[in-house]
Structure 1
């Protein structure tokens, strides 16, 4: 009888993230807040395939599939890494409040469900945003 391969164990202890919907360079609503994530390695194959397609992959994160199943996470949504909010922008362009609010913004380029891990996970391939989106989530009452 063939032996089943043991599953890779996923951990989600590298920080918290928020996923937002965006429209025309503006964050319009929060889809989910404070989801734990784990950093994954951006493999050489993934990196070069994205580059060939005209995209850039800066990070790959895993989030628990159970936490994401009820959500409608889509490519082009914006991920805000809460542990990168202390990242410093060029002080010539942004004031102090903008530096805090807009650090750690990434755009989702690819979403992969990973059922061969324990627990099952969702892998998000992210591209770092050079020019962060304006945050208008509070303007619409959300």
Structure 2
């Protein structure tokens, strides 16, 4: 299934990561707010990086909505030397943490998650030379 989900090769371009994160935050804030979650963006100035903006947005979407669906009340995106994300959700059991990026690993009830979001996100990041 992951093979079928393969995207074309990354299209790396110079992108302002702070602007990309700001646009993403504006897009997802209304959806997150409906679930009782605030999206907080911490950034001071532009950060120019060579990356694939579409892939970064997909990764952010997967990470943020995993946190929202797990019950986080706040998701924090921070731009400094790169992009970091943290949330105040309940965390994961150690047994799940050890296998988090394997395909089909999910903490959601049957029928509510595929367990592919983090595996795909990790693959997208690696294809861009990131982790």
Q: TM-score range by the shorter chain?
A: under 0.3
| TM value normalised by structure 1 | 0.25
| TM value normalised by structure 2 | 0.26
Larger Rg: 1
* Structure whose residues are more often helix by fraction: 2
Relative CO higher for 1 or 2, CA cutoff 8 Å, sep ≥ 6? Answer: 1
